[in-house]
Amino acid sequence: MDVWSILIIILTFQGLFNLSLLIISNSKESRRGNTYLIAITLLLAWFLLEFLSIRQAFKIPANLFYGTRYGSWLLLGPLTYYFFKTITQEKWRFQLKDSLHVLPFLIFTILIPLLSNESLSHRQIHYGMLAVFDHRPKTVTLFEYLYSTIFYLQFIHLALYLLFNVRMIRNYTQKLKTEYSSIKNLKWISIFNLLLVGILILTSVYLYILFKSDAYNRNLDYIYVVPLGIFIYAISYKLSNQAWLPITETKRYQSSSLKEQEKSSSLEVLEKLMSTEEPYLKNDLRLKDLSTMSGINRHHLSQLINEHYQCSFFDFINQQRVKKAEELIEQFPKKNLLQIAFEAGFNNKTSFVNAFKKFNGHTPSAFRKQYTNK
């Protein structure tokens, strides 16, 4: 037992402990997402325990437990896909057709190994799948070559899913901006995906070193194994029991019943409301709230903002907040900027600074210098 192995054991049991918190969660909003987080955590714990079993003196008396030789990474991509689906599409439910995503895993990790009577070579089992490709003289069967190729393909398979996840995050972000003026927790699903990309890159580095040279030593395994343990830790503390923002699906504007004359009158109502009641000061303002306050149909209101102001609801409201912040800075140049952010309707410093730079062209502190130096 070395220090690294002890660290991996701690991280593994940390993740397994937090499984209990995910399982007993009573939050309806997060329960579906938690289901796939549980599955992902169990899969990563399997990888780590398998690694420790290979490295140490003990052996699990079940050949399928050592699943990375057969392609167990083929399950990670589909599980992240299901998790992202539950977040980005509120009405999505697992259907029979969705099971096709796990078919490669079931075939190459479960079914064929059960029927093959351990047809892999001794070197593949004890030294890794890539032993087929090294320079040592050997006889390689078609079956052995197939599984060595699958060992590579499982990482390409995961990479494709991670790319698809990026597209889902982007689409989800755009839809959120049509309904919400403040977006919470979105950064964590991006970090989740980026951490998996990082693990995939480190695994590729490990495989490159292993395949291209004889410089391998046992400690190189920790290049990707330790990050797997850290990833379990990140899931436990940042993604569990999150209540993700729902999205209301809307029809296209081409079928809108809003007439040109109604647009003019609705715009007058909207602009008067924004200037007199300043609804943007409410940091969790939603499109439906503004619709209720203005008396404008929610779909028509979204259309007005998109077509007249050429921006999303999110940008429309935050632009108003930036204007309010500019006024406050001009009036009170020595006032704390975070306090100004809250008074202008922002709910955190990061969103305040990002919006200010986008619509003003300067940071809030740089803008304030114009008035404090007078």
Domain presence at residue 249: no
d(CA 300, CA 307): 10
Q: Do both 232 and 265 map to the same domain?
A: no
d(CA 149, CA 367): 58
- Residue 9: predicted pLDDT: 81
What is the pTM for the complete model shown? 0.83
Q: Which of 239, 269, 298 is the last residue of a domain?
A: 239
Q: Do both 139 and 221 map to the same domain?
A: yes
Q: Do both 235 and 266 map to the same domain?
A: no
d(CA 235, CA 244): 15
Q: Do both 135 and 42 map to the same domain?
A: yes
Domain presence at residue 254: no
Q: Do both 217 and 277 map to the same domain?
A: no
Question: 């062209």: which residue's tokens?
Answer: 361
d(CA 156, CA 207): 13
Q: Do both 18 and 91 map to the same domain?
A: yes
- For residue 286, the cross-strand partners are 180
Q: Do both 333 and 230 map to the same domain?
A: no
Identity of residue 15 = G
d(CA 324, CA 341): 9
- Residue 244: predicted pLDDT: 76
Q: Residue 306 in contact with residue 263, Cβ under 8 Å?
A: no
Tokens describing residue 174: 């755009």
Neighbours of 107 (CB within 10 A): 15
Domain presence at residue 255: no
Q: Do both 137 and 203 map to the same domain?
A: yes
Q: Do both 170 and 277 map to the same domain?
A: no
Domain presence at residue 188: yes
d(CA 141, CA 139): 7
CATH number at residue 224: 1.20.1070
Q: Do both 219 and 281 map to the same domain?
A: no
Q: Do both 176 and 30 map to the same domain?
A: yes
Q: Which domain holds residue 75?
A: 3-239
Domain presence at residue 266: yes
Nearest 5°: phi and psi at 88?
-85, -15
Q: pLDDT tens per residue, the chain (374 residues)?
A: 677 778 878 877 777 777 776 667 655 555 667 788 888 888 988 888 888 887 776 777 777 888 888 899 999 999 999 999 988 887 888 899 999 999 999 999 999 888 876 677 766 766 667 767 666 677 778 888 888 888 889 999 999 999 999 999 999 998 899 999 988 778 888 888 998 999 999 888 888 777 776 665 667 778 888 888 888 777 766 676 667 777 776 555 555 556 666 788 889 999 999 999 999 999 999 999 999 999 998 888 988 898 888 999 999 999 999 999 999 999 998 889 999 999 999 998 989 999 999 999 999 999 998 877 65
Split into its structural domains, the chain has a count of 2
Domain presence at residue 246: no
CATH number at residue 349: 1.10.10.60
Helical axes 349-360 vs 364-372, angle rounded to 10°: 70
- Residue 232: predicted pLDDT: 79
d(CA 51, CA 89): 35
Q: Do both 180 and 314 map to the same domain?
A: no
Q: Which of 204, 239, 274 is the last residue of a domain?
A: 239
